[in-house]
Chains A and B, each alone.
Chain A
Amino acid sequence: MDISTLFEKLVPLIPYLIPLVLLQYGLLVWALVALFKPKAPPRLLNRWVWFAIVLLVNMIGPILFLVIGRNQDEEE
């Protein structure tokens, strides 16, 4: 299969992938905001280690932080 045929197939899909991109970036922003709350230091790891994980590990990084790294006791 050549690249132009592949492009012809994939380009019409872009609008349908927008929700996925929004979900992904929404998660990223949410995780970063929660990570840098001054009164809620993250659990288990250092803030900057979490920052690297959230930023570098696509999708799974923010989820992991929100599930096990977010300090909810201090947030409340």
Chain B
Amino acid sequence: MRRFRILFRKEMTENLRRRRLLVLGIVFLSFAILSPMSAKYMPDLVQWIMSTTEGGGLQLTMPPPVPSDSYVQFLKNLTQMGVLLYMLLFMGAVTEEKRKGSVVLMLTKGVPRSTFLLAKFASSAATVLGAYVVSCVVFLFYQWLTFQETPGGDGLLVLASFGAYLVLMAGVTLLAGTVAQSTAMAAVGALGGYFLLSMLSLLPVVKDYTPSALVDQGLLLLVGKSMASELLWPLVATLGLSAALVALAVALFRKQEL
């Protein structure tokens, strides 16, 4: 446990020093500010643009914005741009250490391979969750400014459950980095894993239990078309899958020649 703590601290310092947390934080914060603003005012802007088009203006009736629109934008931005950015930032976390040979140095000093990987996973998950929590606070503040929506209830539940999705992405990135020998291969592996997981929701049998269902069910919950209990199975599946991916990464890393 002591070794884990030391390694975890080393990894967190590395994430701060390489400015990974800062880049993630800035991007997540931008989403947090932009999503409520654009959800609230984009319909007005679109209507104005349409009315200025030639030929007397095109009349377009758009539904009035509702608070759940900003959650849709915020979470969609995070699942797409946010996750891709996270993967790009962390794809080299394991492969770079292999390339530089620092992993061999560490292992010869008696650090178990599992501890090495678990510290990597925990620190990258903590970094992305840290950036996410801060962005959620800002998001809720802007949500209150634009829609006068007080934070609480289903909104908080949906935001909290999305944390599990980010942990899963940390697992995917870790596994890809462990299997790959180069950073480029790790990137391909991580993106492949991400697309594969997104494609799972196309299979009717498992569609309601996939990580993507966590986001979809959450957004349905916000518009009153689903119940909080519907989030349970996707949440369990997401966390279970994350644990399985980390376990697989550790098992593969134990057998890997460095």
Residues of B within 8 A of A72 (CB): 18
A20 in contact with B33 (CB, 8 Å): yes
The contact of A67 among B23, B30, B44, by CB within 8 Å, is B23
- Once A67-B89, A72-B18 are accepted as A-B contacts, the answer to whether A26 and B33 lie under 8 Å apart by CB is no
Is A3 a contact partner of B37 (Cβ separation < 8 A)? Answer: no
Partner of B33 from A9, A19, A67, A68 at Cβ < 8 Å: A19
Dominant secondary structure at the A interface: helix
Assembled-state Cα–Cα distance A5/B51 (Å) = 13
Would you call A63 and B145 a contact (CB within 8 A)? no
**Tally of contacts, chain A with chain B, CB under 8 A:** 47
Chain A residues near B19 (CB, 8 Å)? 66
A23 touches B29 (CB 8 A): yes
The answer to whether A16 and B145 have CB atoms under 8 Å apart is yes
Within 8 A of A (CB), among B24-81: 26-27, 29-30, 33-34, 37, 41, 44-45, 47-48, 51
Any chain A CB within 8 A of the CB of B228?
no
Q: Which of chain A's residues has its CB closest to B142's CB?
A: A16
CA distance A68 to B37 in the complex (A): 30
Closest Cβ neighbor of A67 among chain B residues = B88
**Quick check: is A49 within 8 A (CB to CB) of the other chain?**
no
Question: Of A3, A9, A26, A67, which is in contact with the most chain B CB atoms at under 10 Å from its CB?
Answer: A67
A63 partner, pick from B33, B37, B47, B85, beta carbons under 8 A: B85
Taking CB atoms and an 8 Å cut-off, the chain A residues in 23-67 that contact chain B are: 23-24, 26-27, 59, 63, 66-67
Contact across chains for B145 and A20 when beta carbons are under 8 A apart: no
A10-B41 in contact given A1-B48, A63-B23 (Cβ < 8 Å) = yes
Closest residue of chain B to A10 (Cβ to Cβ) is B41
Contact B41 A63 (CB under 8 A): no
Q: Which residue of A lies closest to B52 (CB)?
A: A3
Interface centre among B26, B29, B47 (most CB of A within 10 A): B26
In the complex the two chains form, what is the Cα distance from A20 to B26 in whole Å? Answer: 9
In whole angstroms, how far apart are the Cα atoms of A27 and B44 in the complex?
Answer: 29
Per-position contact with A for B218-232: 1 when CB-CB < 8 Å, else 0?
Answer: 000000000000000
A6 contacts B48, C-beta separation under 8 Å: yes
* Shortest Cβ-Cβ A-B pairs, 4 listed: A20-B33, A67-B88, A6-B48, A1-B48
26 pairs, A vs B, C-beta closer than 8 Å: A1-B44, A1-B47, A1-B48, A3-B48, A6-B45, A6-B48, A9-B41, A10-B41, A10-B44, A13-B37, A13-B41, A16-B37, A17-B33, A19-B29, A19-B33, A20-B30, A23-B29, A23-B33, A24-B30, A26-B26, A63-B23, A63-B26, A63-B27, A66-B19, A67-B85, A67-B88
Task: Beyond A1-B48, A63-B85, list 10 extra A-B contacts (CB 8 Å).
Answer: A1-B44, A1-B51, A6-B44, A6-B48, A16-B37, A17-B33, A17-B37, A23-B30, A24-B30, A72-B18
